[in-house]
Chain A
Amino acid sequence: MQPRNALILKAAAVAVAAAMATGLAACSSTPTKTGPTTLTLVTYNAGADQKRWPDLVKAFEAANPSIKVQVQNLTGDNNYNSIITSRIAGGNSPDLFDILNGPSSEGLFTNAHLLTDLSGQSWVKTEIPAIQQVAKSAGGKTYQLVANVDAAGVYYNVDLFKKYNVAVPKTWAEFTAAIQTFKSAGVSPLEVGGKDGWPFVVQALQMGAASASLKPGGSNEIALTSGKQKYSASGWKSILQTFTSLVGSGAYSSDVLGVTDATAASNFANDKAAMMIHGTFELQSIRTANASANISMFPLPYAQSSGNAVASISMGTTLAIPKASKHVAAAERFLAFLASKSANAQFALDAGSFPGQQGVVVAKLDQALTAIAPVVEHNSVNYGDTGLTPTAQAALQTGIGQIVAGTGNTGAILATMDQTQTH
């Protein structure tokens, strides 16, 4: 090679190396802090569910001019927890994040000592009793603010119920009779986003919450989560048998396993199905599909006698502060603001759900939720504490899908759930 070419090549190599070094330095350098503190809040809300944040953020920033809040929405799939932990480990921790699946995933983070202990915050004592029960299940400490609770029940099409003279079911027998009435009339009785799988789990958890043998906080729940009692010897056996009988009775449409949750919401909203067992968190998707859908909600009457309706609730937006956050104090202020009466009421309204704090009145509650509101307030049970660990819940979801597909049986599914306790 000619000496001149070698010189050019060496110069180019040095230039490339210098550029790479500069780029790496830029990636790792900490930007100079100027202006207000910016809190990063990571959630997994998608679509219409994202509407719950703008009003809250605007109100908080108005009350706290030195703090800005940046909401980042990720997809709430299996990768969500991995992304959060990667960011915490990688020095890019969010200041606040919504715990996916609430209490069932919270244990993963608390066992790894990743979360800030919030037990001393003033709003802890004013949470509704069902939420305070969650803390008792977690060793008495509080690591998250549950901003709102979603009730789960049965959405029903008021017009279709009137058309076919079906009364709101108050017992399981009345519920199955209503299913048969609609099926005979050629109307899809129950709409479910079977392809996504988790809507079936919502139904199962409602049954679990209402089931006498799976009451949260009781010995059964702790025995199941600790592995001392097998799922195959618990109330979950009868729940799976109930699913089998529902499938056999034709309660679900034949293509249910090919329908996504979004499509199911749209179908129900547009009068293609009589009922949809779901949570209040689904309301925004239904209203987006049809804002004027004439719908209401009743508690799923599983294992209850007539007149003793029990509403099952789940923790809604559940915000935690990683210990690795650089703005813990500011993040705590945000949580305190969210727990204040006016902000909590507005957030619950925007989320189409119920407040997580006691004594908060939600004005202009959606018509679909007015009938179930008193039940939620006076006789509700947290369905997130029915003894399912994350792996057991995953096995349950797969198992219910197998039952609906006709490829699974109760015994094998329970055996798989039992295996999750020993491994």
Chain B
Amino acid sequence: MTTQIELDHSGAEIRMPRRGGRIIHPEGARSNRTRIFFTIPALVLFTTVVIVPVFLNFFYAGTDWDGFAPSFRFVGLSNFVHAASDPQALQALRNTLIFTAVNAPIQIIVGLALALSLQGRGRIRSFLRVVIVMPIAISGVILGFIGDLIFEPQSGLLDGASHIPLFGWLAQNWLGEPSLAMSAVIAMNLWQWSGFTMLIFVAGLASLPSDLFEAAKIDGAGAWQRFRYVTWPMLAPAVTINVVLTVIGGMKVFDIIYVLTRGGPGNSTESIVQLVTQNGSLGEFGYSASISLALTLITLAISLLLLGALRRREVSA
């Protein structure tokens, strides 16, 4: 072990021991032990409640366990084979992908527009940002009930508004028409999560160096040109985060769909996670575990592809 000489805050010399190229700070070693000590309870809880069930899920996916009986059989990959040919599972996957593919771009565009409109200081802007973000704090279940009050065909808010001149088109069977139900679900989801997307963009915008914009103005760039050639490329990291998070959120959507439409009409809005919970409660625990595992792998694959493509964009920007 060698020593390295450092100076403290008063300029006095301190001899710091080195081992293997690393400086050993005696006080730092004690701080590390304290930090670890305080994280252990949370780590134990997280492992017990999250990590262990995830691995148990992998295990049960290869069984025919009904969730009730003490015994079960290993069935290998037959649950996965069944899921690949199950019309209900395929429809649920289709619905989930449609929801994600439609919701994600709209949520990002809306979030970006809100961020650009409300960036900067000012009481009114701060107040509006808070109002837009507030739905995040509301659970998806409550939002589903609110959506019920809005879209109820005979006594909902939209039905009432349809009596106003020029708004007759609002009198639709929003929750009972397969072609409209998904739109209603996406609308409620956008209301809840656009604020979150906006927050990330606001943080990204705040970190942009102002001298670039000044230089662009001096060069005669208009607002659109500044956005296109300065703001948008520099926001690449924020875009990456938002895209990945909205896609993951879309793939695991459940509560708002379950409360708003119960997966109907027919099964036109049924999501994969809803199918997982339904099968689990009907005594098909092994099958539902296999579907949830398949969903995890699909989401992981999509996320990694997006991450790779967007990271390359960040580098080129």
Contacts and interface: CB of A to CB of B under 8 A. Distances in A.
A361 B38 CA distance: 66
Given A257-B176, A258-B152, A390-B282, A108 B68 contact: yes
Contact of A6 (B30, B263, B279): B30
Contact of A258 (B68, B174, B280): B174
A173 interface: no
Interface string A1-21: 100001001100100100010
A407 B281 contact: no
Given A255-B173, A258-B151, A398-B88, A112 B68 contact: yes
A140 B282 CA distance: 24
A108 B69 CA distance: 8
Interface string B52-87: 000000000000001111100000000000100011
A306 B195 CA distance: 63
B74 to A, nearest CB: 15
A386 B263 CA distance: 26
Given A258-B175, A391-B284, A1 B31 contact: yes
A90 to B, nearest CB: 14
B262 interface: yes
Contacts of B127: none
Given A6-B30, A259-B153, A405-B264, A111 B277 contact: no
B268 interface: yes
B256 to A, nearest CB: 15
A257 B268 CA distance: 11
Interface in A374-423: 390-391, 394-395, 398, 401-408, 412, 415-416, 419, 423
B67 A404 contact: no
A236 to B, nearest CB: 17
A109 interface: yes
A79 B276 CA distance: 12
Contacts, number: 128
Contacts of B31: 1
Contacts of A326: none
A148 interface: no
Contacts of B88: 395, 398, 416
Interface in B254-286: 261-268, 270, 277-284
Contacts of B281: 78-82
A259 B148 CA distance: 10
Contacts of B267: 398, 401-402
Nearest to A6: B30
Interface of A: 1, 6, 9-10, 13, 16, 20, 78-82, 85, 108-109, 111-114, 194-197, 254-260, 263, 267, 390-391, 394-395, 398, 401-408, 412, 415-416, 419, 423
29 contacts: A16-B38, A78-B281, A78-B282, A85-B68, A108-B68, A111-B69, A112-B68, A112-B70, A113-B69, A195-B175, A195-B261, A196-B262, A257-B173, A257-B264, A257-B265, A257-B266, A258-B173, A259-B176, A263-B155, A267-B154, A391-B282, A394-B282, A395-B88, A398-B263, A402-B267, A405-B264, A405-B268, A415-B87, A423-B82
The 7 A-B residue pairs with the shortest CB-CB distance in the complex, in nearest-first order = A258-B176, A257-B176, A402-B266, A112-B68, A257-B265, A255-B153, A258-B175
